[in-house]
Amino acid sequence: MKRVLITGAAGFLGSHLCERFLKEGMYVIGMDNLITGDMRNIEHLMPNPNFEFNHHDVTKFVHVPGELDYIMHFASPASPIDYLKIPIQTLKVGAMGTHNLLGLARVKKARFIIASTSEVYGDPLVHPQTEDYWGHVNPIGPRGCYDEAKRYQEAITMAYHRYHELETRIVRIFNTYGPRMRLNDGRVLPAFIGQALRGEDITVFGDGTQTRAFCYVDDLVEGIYRLLMSDYSLPVNIGNPSEITIGEFAEEIIKLTGTDQKVIYQPLPQDDPKQRQPDITLAKEILGWEPKVSRDEGLRITYDYFRSLPKERLYEESNHRGFESFSASK
């Protein structure tokens, strides 16, 4: 039985990856420090004899007994509301966490994949974004803690690939959505749906003309799986190229939820990307991958999930569990 370590396992995307690799017949070791992850995302997996969970911070030394075939580093705050509150932890998991796990992959002779992001392109001057675009990032802006952590991740991963001949993969993930997103994580889709469910006005930052392209989580997981199993070591964009303005998206959410909210506008945060759309030509050519789930279908599934949550979940605050134990010096 193949064995895979998945960091960030209790997060939105990590939990879906755990499910997928269990279905592929692998033994899955999930790891998370639960600062932004949530055990409710993986509690249904705990009875599975082929799943184990380790509560651990990967910025500390990582030890996993036995053989490992794959290491998937998906641990990181991923939404602005998180990484703006815990910027040092965000940088550490991108730098020290990646270094620790690359070292583990080298010892175990495991294939290694990192979750990079479309944020490495920053506020792009090229549209749509191709993998050979170097990006337009403000390294000292408020978002720099996340953008530069991910850019460093890519750099050290390629260094291990070239110097130690480690098998590595890099997936650049674009906006993704689906069940188990946190309503309070600050990203546009759960924010809009949460506001609709609470009967609040929908808040659009900026004038609503900025664009995003949303990929349903099952499509993303399929792309990640194919990339991990491929022999391609350079970055690959995985996302849905169907682009929409945030203003149009707000109207779609109002129509989906059958609510009658007003749309109110607030100033655009500093360095917020004006356009975001993946060029997935490479994924099509190398992986034979493209998204299958339409936005209408994916939004219906996601809305039904959020609507099924207990009412108190609609009002939960951001859940930096254990964050009080971290000092600014760490």
Question: Dihedral of the CA atoms 148, 175, 132, 95 (nearest 10)?
Answer: 30
140 vs 135: CA distance, rounded Å = 15
Q: Angle at CA 309, nearest 5°, toward 304 and 310?
A: 150
Say which residue the tokens 């971290």 belong to.
Answer: 326
Helix, strand, coil share of the chain (percent; to 5): 40, 20, 40
185 vs 164: CA distance, rounded Å = 37
22 vs 66: CA distance, rounded Å = 18
Say if residues 210 and 247 touch (Cβ distance below 8 Å): no
- The closest of 206, 207, 211, 240 to 223, measured between CA atoms, is 240
**Cα 125 from chain centroid?**
23
- Beta strands (DSSP E) in 27-110 are 27-32, 51-55, 70-73
118 vs 236: CA distance, rounded Å = 10
Cα 56 to Cα 53, 126, 172, 276, 322: the distances in Å are: 9, 39, 25, 33, 12
Clarify whether 225 is annotated catalytic: no
208 vs 205: CA distance, rounded Å = 7
Paired with 281 in beta bridges are none
Query: Which candidate in 83, 146, 160, 177 is catalytic?
Result: 146
103 vs 100: CA distance, rounded Å = 5
Residues forming the active site: 146
